[in-house]
Amino acid sequence: MAAGERIQDSLKRQGVRLTRQRRILLDLIDESGEHLDAERLYLLARGKDPKLNRVTVYRTLKMLKAGGLVDELDLMHHAGDQHYYETRRKQEHAHVVCLRCGAVEEYFGPALAEMRRQIEVAFGFEIVMARTEVGGYCGRCQTEMAQEKGKGTKQ
């Protein structure tokens, strides 16, 4: 995929049919700031086309994943076992998920690329995709948990 290219352009180049439904879904994925799961994407898409079916969402996501146009995330299964999706247009990053409030931060540091390189060398492995997810507690939740603990002991 050319850098900065939208998913739609990439698909068109591959000769994939651009239906009304796909245009809606791809726009949402391209523009969304959040990490979307199938159900959330479905609900957003229905806002634009109430007839659009949930199955079409799954089929579209599957196609995009197979084509390497989106990455599939689990976000530590923090909110259930559904998958989340994001375009691959961004630089590789790790997802840091707060297990208490669900906030997701993205880490772009050099250790990721370094690890990737080491794995390729060490195993003669050809990496197609990589996923790092970290679960724990964000700064704010650490504070709040400390406060609650204080209250708890008084009671």
Residues lying near a second copy in the complex (CB under 8 A) are found at: 72, 74, 76-77, 81, 94, 96, 98-99, 105, 107, 109, 111-112, 114-116, 118-119, 122-139, 142
Q: Residues 38, 61: contact at Cβ < 8 Å?
A: yes
Shortest distance, position 45 Cβ to a second copy, whole Å: 23
**Cα(9)–Cα(93) distance, integer angstroms:** 24
Residue burial 61-82, b: 16+ Cβ < 10 Å; e: rest: beebbeeebbbebebbebeeee
Least distance from C-beta 97 to DNA, angstroms? 16
149 binds, among a second copy, DNA, none (CB under 5 to 8 A by kind): none
Q: Which of the choices a second copy, DNA, none does residue 125 contact, using the CB cut-off of 5 to 8 A by kind?
A: a second copy
Q: Which residues bind DNA (CB under 7 A)?
A: 12, 16-22, 37-39, 49, 51-56, 58-62, 80-83
User: Least separation, in Å, of the C-beta of 130 and a second copy?
Assistant: 5
Q: Of the candidates 155, 127, 150, which has an alpha carbon nearest to the alpha carbon of residue 68?
A: 127
**127: which 2 tokens?**
């990496």
Cβ-based nearer residue to a second copy, 17 or 66: 66
DSSP-assigned letters across all residues of 26-46:
HHHHHH-SS-EEHHHHHHHHH
Q: Give the residue with the Cβ less far from DNA, 131 or 140.
A: 131
